[in-house]
């Protein structure tokens, strides 16, 4: 049972124990203590981060705490450290995978869950670079997922933190609510108010999280609805369901339309059920277990009813979450088996296209393309070769690799909204590496990465054309000119 040791400053013995294990705030980030009134409210990292001042004893309850056997797989070798974005930024042990696993261990041993412990878990991007790097096969994804669920269930976040997270989770997983925003947002963007406010430095006066939200809003184009059924061009090879997503559907409708055209050109009948909702990825990756389970059950029922062979996903974060449904619903007697079968049917777009082999001829696209590995594609799903193979099959396209490709760009679901400072540092680092490729076009597979990188480039005063891999393949299939991709900037 949860015992909260009080609102207000955490008890001295809990502070001491966190300090003993080396936990402290990242260096080099603004320490807002002593800042002018109001300044501290804007910080999300460092000493001014909104924290609850509460310690929960013990840290974990009996409902799926991080598993001891998985913790024991870590042999403390440290091979994961150089690929962990937060360790790369701050060099702090407790902001590394090994440090976070140690915090899980002491949490299991009865240590209190306090602000410092939660901060180190919150600052993890969930990028899974450590999973790729780990020679011992540590399943960090399951560990951090279980830990985040404990945090969300047991730790009373500060009022401001709760309010901001409530805004995110009452908005982003609901395409209808997002769609209502399209009109006012288009008006805001076309009026130029945002540009003026930015130039006048007014956005810098907003709380950092709200300012990040404004800067990460995509430029909205016209809606491009996807038909419920797109017939295969030529003989039907598969009947596939297509996840249209929440952010993707409302803010990047052209990506879904391109995905359906490419799949149809390669012999798939594409079913995009109009009744589908959110896949639950944002909720799952933020530790909101019950909410994620609800979305997962609904998605399974929707695609089962559609009678499809496979479910194809064009957003890396969504695909990785849907491949985890079997684990997410393992305790549900009605859905456990259905969820496992469903997860096995899920394919990333590039994974399915390479599995099928191309049918439609690809027309030349003579251009230099930098491929950005989205973490939830490369690390969480292990999909690296397929998008590269799909792009290399386009005549004339020159693929360029980005240095430090294993390091996250800082997008990471809602990370760039709730932890904007480290997200911006990682974005800046990635933007520099992208520009160094000399590419004409940046291509990736996740809407969040596109927004994050556009924002990072804008901070440098630079722009670069960006596209989803589906849009590049679609242009090659349709014989569109490279200018049709390069002319657009996200
Ligand atoms: S998931 Fe990413 S940020 Fe979190 S510990 Fe692993 S490498 Fe570090
Ligand atoms: S997570 Fe893996 S790579 Fe990292 S310290 Fe543990 S065993 Fe080594």
**What pLDDT is attached to residue 49?**
60
The alpha carbon of 112 is separated from its chain's Cα centroid by a whole number of angstroms, namely: 29
Is the shortest distance between the CB of 22 and ligand 2 below 6 Å? no
Cα–Cα distance, 274 to 271 (Å, whole number): 9
The contacts of residue 409 (CB under 8 Å, 6+ apart) are 372, 426, 427, 430, 449, 452, 453, 456
Q: What is the whole-number distance in angstroms between the Cα of residue 36 and the centre of ligand 2?
A: 42
Q: How far apart are CA 308 and CA 271, in angstroms?
A: 8
**Residue 86 gets which letter from DSSP?**
H
Question: What residues contact 416, with CB distance under 8 A and at least 6 apart?
Answer: 212, 216, 410, 423, 424, 427, 448, 452, 455
Q: 247: Cβ–Cβ under 8 A, 6 or more apart, which residues?
A: 172, 178, 315, 447, 448
Query: Is residue 16's pLDDT more than 60?
Result: no
Whether the per-residue pLDDT at 138 is higher than 90: the answer is yes
- DSSP state letter for 395: T
Task: Give the three-class secondary structure for 22.
Answer: coil
Task: Name which of 172-181, 286-295, 392-401 the model is least confident about.
Answer: 172-181
Per-residue pLDDT, averaged over 378-404, amounts to 98
303 vs 316: CA distance, rounded Å: 19
Ligand 2 contact, 76 CB (< 6 A): yes
**For ligand 1, atom 2: residue with the closest CA:** 127
pLDDT confidence bin for 211, thresholds 50/70/90:
confident
- Closest approach atom of ligand 2 to CA 79: 3
Q: Would you state the structure tokens that stand for residue 423, as one six-digit string?
A: 């997200």
Looking at residue 95, the DSSP 8-state letter turns out to be: G
pLDDT of residue 200 exceeding 80, the answer is no
Beta-bridged to residue 465, according to DSSP, are 441
Q: Looking at the CA of 95, which ligand is closest?
A: 1
pLDDT for 476 beyond 50: yes
What is d(CA 127, CA 139) in angstroms, rounded to the nearest whole number?
13
The per-residue pLDDT for 250 is 87
The single residue listed with the structure tokens 């279980």 is: 146
Distance 289 CA to ligand 2 centre (A): 26
- Provide CB contacts within 8 A for 61, sequence distance 6+: 1, 2, 150, 153, 154
Ligand 1 atom closest to Cα of 97?
A: 5
* Mean pLDDT calculated for residue range 12-17: 32
Q: Per-residue pLDDT tens for 30-67?
A: 332 222 333 333 344 543 466 777 889 899 999 999 99
Token pair 């929440």: residue: 246
Using one digit for the tens of pLDDT, what is the confidence trace for 406-450? 999 999 999 999 999 999 999 999 999 999 999 999 999 998 999
In percent, the amount of the chain with pLDDT more than 90 equals 73
Q: Could you tell me if 134 and 140 are in contact, meaning their C-beta atoms sit under 8 angstroms apart? A: yes
Locate 45 and state its tokens.
Answer: 């990292």
* Ligand 2 pocket, residue 141 CB under 6 Å: no
Taking the C-alpha atoms of residue 372 and residue 451, their distance in angstroms, rounded to an integer, is: 13
Q: Does residue 377 surpass a pLDDT of 60?
A: yes
Residues with C-beta less than 6 Å from any ligand 1 atom = 83-86, 97, 100, 124-130, 140
pLDDT score at 175: 85
Residue 294 has pLDDT above 60, yes or no: yes
pLDDT of residue 488: 61
What does the buried/exposed string (b/e) look like for 411-441 if buried means 16 or more CB atoms within 10 Å of the residue's CB? Answer: bbbbbbbbbbbbbbbbbbbbbebbbebebbb
Q: What is the pLDDT of residue 74?
A: 98
**Quick one: angle between helices 289-306 and 140-154, nearest 10?**
120
What pLDDT sits at residue 489?
52
Q: Give the nearest ligand 1 atom to 129 CA.
A: 7
At residue 248, the pLDDT reads: 87
98 lines ligand 2 (CB under 6 A): yes
Q: Is pLDDT above 90 for 242?
A: yes
> In this prediction, what percent of the chain has a pLDDT beyond 70?
89
Ligand at minimal distance from the CA of 82 is 1
Contact between 39 and 23 under an 8 Å Cβ cutoff? The reply is no
Instruction: Record the tokens describing residue 354, joined without a space.
Output: 């390479």
Q: What is the pLDDT of residue 181?
A: 84
CB atoms within 10 A of CB 105: 15
Q: Residue 196 and residue 189: Cα distance in Å, rounded?
A: 11
The pLDDT of residue 4 is: 42
Q: Whose CA is nearest to atom 8 of ligand 2?
A: 77
Tell me which DSSP letter residue 312 carries.
Answer: E
**pLDDT recorded at residue 258:** 97
Ligand nearest to the Cα of 80, by number: 2
Q: Is a pLDDT exceeding 80 seen at residue 325? A: yes
Three-class secondary structure of residue 346 per DSSP: strand
Residue 187: pLDDT band with limits 50, 70, 90 = confident
**CB-based burial, 335-353: b 16+ in 10 Å, e otherwise:** bbebbeebbebbbbbbbbb
Say yes or no to pLDDT of 68 above 50: yes
Picking from 213-222, 258-267, 282-291, 452-461, which range would have the lowest pLDDT averaged per residue? 213-222
């Amino acid at each position: 049972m949860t015992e909260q040791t009080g609102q207000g400053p955490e008890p001295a013995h809990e502070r001491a124990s966190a300090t003993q294990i080396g936990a402290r705030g990242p260096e080099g980030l603004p320490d807002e203590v002593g800042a002018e009134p109001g300044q501290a409210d804007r910080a999300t990292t460092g000493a001014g981060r909104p924290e609850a001042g509460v310690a929960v004893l013990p840290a974990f309850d009996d409902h799926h705490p991080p598993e001891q056997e998985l913790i024991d797989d870590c042999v403390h070798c440290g091979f994961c450290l150089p690929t962990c974005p937060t360790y790369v930024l701050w060099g702090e042990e407790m902001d590394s995978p090994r440090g976070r696993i140690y915090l899980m261990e002491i949490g299991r041993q009865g240590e209190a869950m306090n602000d410092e412990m939660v901060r180190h878990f919150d600052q993890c991007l969930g990028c899974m670079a450590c999973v790729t790097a780990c020679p011992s096969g540590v399943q960090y994804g399951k560990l951090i997922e279980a830990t985040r669920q404990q945090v969300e269930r047991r730790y009373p976040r500060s009022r401001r933190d709760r309010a901001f997270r409530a805004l995110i989770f009452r908005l982003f997983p609901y395409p209808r609510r997002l769609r209502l925003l399209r009109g006012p947002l288009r008006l805001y963007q076309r009026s130029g108010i945002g540009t003026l406010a930015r130039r006048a430095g007014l956005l810098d006066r907003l709380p950092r999280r709200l300012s990040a939200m404004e800067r990460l809003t995509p430029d909205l184009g016209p809606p491009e609805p996807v038909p419920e059924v797109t017939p295969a061009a030529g003989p039907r090879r598969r009947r596939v369901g297509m996840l249209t997503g929440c952010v993707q559907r409302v803010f990047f409708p052209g990506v879904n339309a391109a995905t359906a055209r490419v799949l149809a050109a390669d012999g798939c009948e594409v079913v995009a059920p109009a009744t589908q909702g959110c896949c639950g990825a944002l909720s799952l990756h933020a530790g909101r277990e019950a909410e994620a389970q609800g979305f997962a059950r609904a998605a399974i029922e929707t695609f089962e009813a559609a009678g499809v062979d496979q479910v194809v996903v064009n957003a890396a974060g969504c695909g990785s979450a849907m491949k985890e449904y079997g684990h997410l619903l393992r305790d549900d007697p009605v859905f456990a088996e259905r969820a496992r079968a469903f997860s096995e049917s899920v394919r990333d777009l590039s994974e399915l296209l390479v599995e099928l082999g191309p049918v439609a001829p690809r027309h030349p696209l003579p251009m230099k393309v930098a491929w950005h590995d989205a973490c939830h594609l490369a690390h969480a799903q292990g999909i690296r070769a397929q998008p590269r193979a799909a792009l290399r099959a386009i005549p004339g396209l020159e693929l360029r690799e980005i240095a430090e490709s294993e390091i996250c760009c800082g997008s990471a679901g809602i990370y760039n909204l709730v932890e904007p400072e480290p997200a911006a540092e990682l974005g800046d680092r990635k933007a520099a590496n992208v520009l160094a490729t000399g590419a004409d076009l940046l291509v990736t597979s996740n809407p969040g990465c596109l927004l994050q990188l556009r924002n990072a480039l804008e901070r440098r005063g630079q722009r670069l054309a960006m596209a989803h891999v589906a849009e590049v393949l679609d242009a090659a299939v349709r014989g569109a000119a490279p200018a049709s991709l390069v002319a657009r900037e996200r």
